[in-house]
Every structure is written in structure tokens, then in C-alpha cells.
Amino acid sequence: MVRQTEGAVHGFLTLSSLDGAVLANGDLEQSAHGSRVTSRLIFRFKDGSRQEETTVFSQTSHFRLIGYRLVQKGPAFKRQMDFTLNGSTGEATARYSDGDGKEKVEFVRLELPPDVANGIVPVLLRNLAPGASLTASMVVPAPKPQLVKLAISPEGEDWFLTGEERRKATRYVLKVEIGGVKGAIAPLVGKQPPDTRIWIMGGAAPAFLRSDGPSCDGCAVWRTQLAAPVWPNEAQGSPRRTK
């Protein structure tokens, strides 16, 4: 349910390993035209890799996915991927290449439920009532795109600081539920993805703060969090001015 309508946003993010090593810097750019919202998240890696995620969704009484694209290129990813999903038709296309460098294409048409959440999980959590849980669906961007269920629930609360002020965030855990026979054997063959954790600050204007989870099928768990601008000569007490 739409409790907080989305608007224009430009946010700065970092992507790091869990030990704190920064892997990439990113920008989130979002615009809204009527009930249609377009969100574009780009990470530029230090090794030259690039991840770009574009999500288009509508916001009327509920959020509905219109289109989604994920591009992952460079040495940071074991598999090069260009994945697109049409939220209206259920058409999913995965263009990918493994170590041999040969491009392969997989196309499927899925029966999508209305709760497909590719690219909009943080949006859904910002609109969640305090203490509530959420179930949604997601199409996994993989060589064989697959529809899975997401079970998201509050796991606890954590404190964080802004300056010297102490604040509180709700920590949510996201579990991927793979149905049927595939779900039964996934943990045995190492295909069950690790849980993702997402931190949201509540209140009148809920905000995304951080997430720990894999960025792709088979990826390590990476940390995405907000970044603050740093001025070149901040130590001198004022930002550098240019003509």
C-alpha cells in the first residue's frame, strides 16, 4: 500500500565488503511524472566494473512494477549480465557470458503476480506499517530467470549516530523462498541465496540507511549504505570555491 509517495531524489551511496573495504561509489537518481516513477542506481567500481539498475514502477493505491533492467559488467562479477523484465507481460530476457566470453541469451515468459518487487524493496519497506511483515515476489536475474517469493520481517532494532546524535533503525531480514522441488534441493546444492538485511529509519519520513546482501546470483554479500559529501579542504573550515 502506498503510504509515502515517491518523488525526485538524488542520493549518494557506497558499496563495500563487510570488512569495510569500499568497492564502488554510486548515485541513485529518481524522478516522478504523475503516478509513474523511474529510479536509476549506478555503481562505479574501483576496478572498472559497473552495475546499473533501472526500475520503472507506478504508485496509485499500490506500487506496481512496470519494467526493470540490471546490467553488471567487469571483473567484479563472475558472470556478465544484462537482464530485463517486463512487469506487464512477464517477459524476462537474460543476456550473459561466463568465463568463456561467449554471449548467451535466455528468454522466458512468466506468470507474474502483482507483488513483483524487483528494484523496489526499499520503497516497500519505507511504506510498511511499524512492526509489520511483508511477502512479495521477485524474478531472479540469472541465466534461467526464476520467480521466487520474498519473506521480509522485522528482526530487531539497532542504534546509529549522525554527528553526536543517537538514532534508531529497524533491521529487516529478507529471505528468499524457492518453491517446489527446486526449493527442497537448493540448500543441498549450494543454490539457496544468503539472507539480506535492510535497515530503515521510521517516523514521518522513513528512510533507507543500509543493506547487507548479495548483488547477484552467486555474488558475495556486499554492503550498500548512504554516503555523505566530503569537501576537499574541509579541515580549513570552508569548502573550496571555483570560478
What is the tens place of the pLDDT at every residue in 13-49?
Answer: 999 999 999 999 999 999 999 999 999 999 999 999 9
| Predicted local confidence at residue 179, as pLDDT | 65
pTM over 0.95: no
The confidence score (pLDDT) of residue 184 equals: 42
Query: Quick one: pLDDT band at residue 238, thresholds 50, 70, 90?
Result: low
Q: In sequence order, what are the residues at sequence separation of 6 or more whose Cβ sits closer than 8 angstroms to the Cβ of residue 117? A: 65, 124, 136, 137, 138, 150
Q: Which is higher by pLDDT, 28 or 239?
A: 28
Query: Can you give the residue ranges of every domain in the chain?
Result: 9-227
CA distance 226 to 16: 11
Q: Compute the distance between CA of residue 112 and CA of residue 88 in angstroms, rounded to an integer.
A: 8
The pLDDT tens digits for 78-96 are 899 999 999 999 999 999 9
Q: Whole-number mean pLDDT of the chain?
A: 91
Average pLDDT over residues 42-58: 98
pLDDT tens digits, 182-235: 554 344 334 678 999 999 999 999 999 999 999 887 788 999 999 999 888 765
pLDDT at 233: 76
Q: In the prediction, which pLDDT does 216 show? A: 81
Pairing mode, if any, of strands 196-201 and 165-177? antiparallel
Provide the 8-state DSSP code for 188.
Answer: H
pLDDT at 43: 98
Q: What's the pLDDT at 187?
A: 44
Distance CA 42, CA 110 (A): 27
Kindly state the percentage of the chain with pLDDT values over 70: 90
- Mean of the pLDDT values across residues 118-146? 96
Domain 9-227 matching CATH 2.40.360: the answer reads yes
Cβ proximity of 28 and 241 under 8 Å: no
